[in-house]
């Protein structure tokens, strides 16, 4: 049986690793401009962002899309 995650580019990448990559590439200000969420615009931190994104599927989806776009 084939691994269903084989074609998933996010497989094995933690949300924290995604955030660290995006902060290094864009910075909080640019991330907040692209995705208008408080955890990026108001006293941003990895910890607060992880807490919010783990509870908010629509925001996590947007962050994952930004990550995939940043790899192109």
* pTM, 2 dp: 0.89
Q: What is the pLDDT of residues 22-41, one digit of tens each?
A: 999 999 999 999 999 999 99
- Write the DSSP string, 2-53: --TTTT-TTTT--HHHHHHHHHHHHHHHHHHHHS--HHHHSS--HHHHHHHH
Residue 54 domain flag: yes
User: Mean pLDDT of all residues in the chain?
Assistant: 93
CATH number of 52's domain: 1.10.720.30
Range of the domain at 67: 15-71
Residue 59 domain flag: yes
């Amino acid at each position: 049986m084939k691994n269903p995650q084989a074609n998933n580019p996010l497989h094995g990448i933690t949300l924290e690793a995604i955030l660290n990559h995006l902060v290094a590439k864009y910075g909080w200000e640019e991330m907040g401009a692209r995705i208008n969420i408080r955890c990026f615009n108001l006293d941003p931190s990895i910890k607060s962002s992880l807490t919010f994104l783990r509870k908010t599927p629509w925001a996590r989806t947007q962050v994952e899309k930004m990550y995939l776009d940043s790899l192109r």
